[in-house]
Structure 1
Amino acid sequence: MINMPRANHWDIFCSVVDNYGDIGVTWRLAKQMANEYHIPVNLWVDDLASFSHILPTLDPLKTAQSFNGVNIIHWIKPLPIEFVAGEVLIEAFACELPEQVKELLVHLHQNDPKSVPIWLNLEYLSAEDWVEGCHGLPSLQANGLKKYFYFPGFGAKTGGLICEQDLFAERDTWQADTANKLQLFSQLGLKGIEAQDTVISIFSYETEALPALCELWQQSAEKIHALIPKGRSLNSLTHLLPCDIAALVPGQQVKHGNLTLHILPMTNQQSFDRLLWSCDINIVRGEDSFMRAQWAAKPFIWHIYPQEDDYHMVKLEAFLKIYCDNLAPEIAENWSKLNFAFNQAQQSAVNLHWQNLNLVSLPLLQHVKQWPINAINAADLATRLVQFVKNS
């Protein structure tokens, strides 16, 4: 490995774990750095096939390609191109840097410590109290290098939340005209949805809570449309489908009573955002869709990724505590219980709390609109990250 002159670009390494969550957040961050801060970004990704589901123009067979000002490089062993150290090096979500990169960093440190990039470990998002105390702490590695732990979060002393500068204005413009959502549904091949119908997007893990809600929705006095991509959510609804999941096609409809299931095509991130903006409620999972559901200013259920010893329920409780802080007590109680019941697959409880929660109540709608403004807390993640690098 040749010691190359230091460049001003940033390198971000991402190992795709849950198909779309890790790469979804990382891709948004890379685009924002390139587009809003004009920082050259090299995004190293180990699974281009999964990545291509949210970036359809990506060629999974190409070693290197550029989109939205970001250089996307296939992360294989050994690296397909020579690694040149830039200003910042980010490990997304605790992935391990390639050994050849670590060797270069050690070599740079031995020859000129000032030439070593600022090394950050971008952690998963959490609303837990301890995050503020751990954010930004340095860790001395065995090889003598220093790595900082960067924690996204909801508090002023955390790393902030992923959010593009013009996102809220674009959302408000979109939601101001009903024609926008109807046009989007048409573009996605979804037929028979009227402006007054209730539309629910579903992007969850497997759970017995889904068939329970679908049974309730079938008996609704009004039409309900559930929009579901081919994937894990449908694994819980096979009894409602006319064929195997693999045989379903985008745009296909399955009707049961007043419930219509629509099979969604995979979309890019902009279309996914607009889909969330267009639905009356969004059931989401992971981290990326979890944040985008909040920015959509619509009611949502968060199906958090299950962890050992039910630690994910601790994370859920921490989030609900801050999210419901300004809600009326009875709304906050029902909202929290609905999310807990969904995550614990409590079928009867899910249905009960769904019916008790008035999704079109003015206090709730006011809350979901005000929450993004409060949550951004004066600065988004990219802005705080750039400032953190300057201060370091």
Structure 2
Amino acid sequence: MTVRWDIFCTVVDNFGDIGVTWRLARQLVAEHQCAVRLWVDDLRAFERLCPQIDITLCEQWQQGVQVCHWPESWPSTEAADVVIAAFACQLPSAYMDAMAERQTTPLWMNLDYLSAEDWVIGCHGLPSVKYKHVQKYFFFPGFREGTGGLLREAGLLERRRQFQQDAQAQRIFLEALGVQRTPGARLISLFAYENAGLASWFDAMVADPHASHVLIPEGRVLGDVQRWLGIDGLKAGAVHQRGALTVQVLPFVRQDQYDQLLWCCDFNAVRGEDSFVRAQWAGRPLLWHIYQQEEDVHLEKLEAFLRLYTHGLSEPAQKAISGLWRSWNAGQDMAEHWKMVDQQQQELLEHAQAWCLEQASRPDLAAALVKFYVNWL
């Protein structure tokens, strides 16, 4: 019989939470033949990732997934075989009662945020709280053995390899976004939160002898770009050039298009969790803008990942990429660190490719979740 899954998502950070759960839901359907309901409280944010969504409907089917609006007044609904509370969201009390009333107790998991911290391995898969007789379990994505792995669809890296070896396919894709790539220019994608360090980074690229073309999907960082340019009303399609730097605003793209954008670029600046993982699958050097948390807890997560990611790099390359990440996440001057990264670009590229293959040698997150359920049975 088909295993029924309910995934609950509250949209906290615009696209990160829904981005992860939407990818997971589709993969469970396509690769593991699960029946998936995805409960989302903000269909408007979802619509940006999946333009086919009708935000007026309480229930609809998209790419094999039953998408349901998570209402304030919870309807009478039978609980699924597997229940995922994404990122510690609180399930409706009526649904928790429905879990407890099932003849066969469901598997209830909290799919937590991605982290490279050491303690994650010790907590992954452990029981958490109970509701009546229904036990909840921790499930942590991660970068090492003993965690749940990373989201990665079947054949993803082969599709990426073929695309990156096909100059014409890249040109056609970029032209569809209105991008005319300058021959010899370094292509950079920029998807970030607001950041005071952006002006110094752009200034460094303006004076750089190596031309750069920065592609910026519509998002929160546009306010900083506008201030740097000294203009208002920056929208998709805008192109501005200063010195060796060309800045271009792109429309917000679907997830599959965003993957291709990352694959086209020589360097990817990303934010949050979903784009962070996709940039790693791109096999290109990257810059992560981690989501800021109270009391700077996020900086501990940043350092934990840097320790893991930079292992094996030469000291100059390690110093360059770590300094760039720390400056970016502190909103500090980027110029010197960017110059150092440029000097180490070949080693950083080879390292990014090796890191990608290392991560791909482990089971992906969807497969790990399915295996956890099978073992739990």
1:118 aligns with 2:107: yes
Matched ranges for 1:123-162 at <5 A? 123-162=112-151
2: distance between equivalents of 1:249 and 1:59? Answer: 25
SS of aligned partner of 1:57: coil
Checking the alignment, whether the CA contact within 8 Å between 1:154 and 1:377 is kept in structure 2 is: no
Matched ranges for 1:192-271 at <5 A? 192-241=180-229, 243-244=231-232, 247-271=233-257
SS of aligned partner of 1:363: helix
Checking the alignment, whether the CA contact within 8 Å between 2:226 and 2:234 is kept in structure 1 is: no
Matched ranges for 1:8-27 at <5 A? 8-27=3-22
Distance 1:61-1:359 versus aligned 2 partners, 3 A rule? farther
- Structure 1 position 360, deviation (Å): 6.7
Aligned to 1:3: none
Checking the alignment, whether the CA contact within 8 Å between 1:160 and 1:376 is kept in structure 2 is: no
Q: Structure 1 stretch 70-79 or stretch 115-124: which is displaced more? A: 70-79
- Structure 1 position 236, deviation (Å): 1.6
Checking the alignment, whether the CA contact within 8 Å between 2:320 and 2:344 is kept in structure 1 is: no
CA RMSD of aligned residues (A): 1.6
Checking the alignment, whether the CA contact within 8 Å between 1:160 and 1:384 is kept in structure 2 is: yes
Checking the alignment, whether the CA contact within 8 Å between 1:127 and 1:153 is kept in structure 2 is: yes
In structure 2, runs of 5+ residues without a counterpart are none
Aligned to 1:90: 84
In structure 1, runs of 5+ residues without a counterpart are 1-5
Checking the alignment, whether the CA contact within 8 Å between 1:242 and 1:254 is kept in structure 2 is: no
1:56 aligns with 2:54: no
SS of aligned partner of 1:232: coil
Normalised by the size of structure 2, how large is the TM-score? Answer: 0.96
1: distance between equivalents of 2:73 and 2:365? Answer: 31
- Structure 1 position 79, deviation (Å): 3.3
Checking the alignment, whether the CA contact within 8 Å between 1:252 and 1:263 is kept in structure 2 is: yes
- Structure 1 position 195, deviation (Å): 4.2
SS of aligned partner of 1:95: coil
Aligned to 2:160: 171
The one-letter code matched in structure 1 to 2:139 is Y
SS of aligned partner of 1:141: strand
Normalised by the size of structure 1, how large is the TM-score? Answer: 0.92
- Structure 1 position 358, deviation (Å): 2.9
Aligned length: 376
- Structure 1 position 262, deviation (Å): 0.8
Distance 1:184-1:321 versus aligned 2 partners, 3 A rule? same
Matched ranges for 1:4-83 at <5 A? 8-79=3-74, 82-83=76-77
2: distance between equivalents of 1:243 and 1:356? Answer: 30
1:364 aligns with 2:348: yes
1:188 aligns with 2:177: yes
- Structure 1 position 143, deviation (Å): 2.6
* Consecutive aligned runs of 4 or more in structure 1 exceeding 6 Å deviation: none
The one-letter code matched in structure 2 to 1:45 is V
- Structure 1 position 308, deviation (Å): 1.6
Aligned to 1:321: 307
1: distance between equivalents of 2:318 and 2:239? Answer: 34
- Structure 1 position 242, deviation (Å): 5.9
1: distance between equivalents of 2:211 and 2:320? Answer: 23
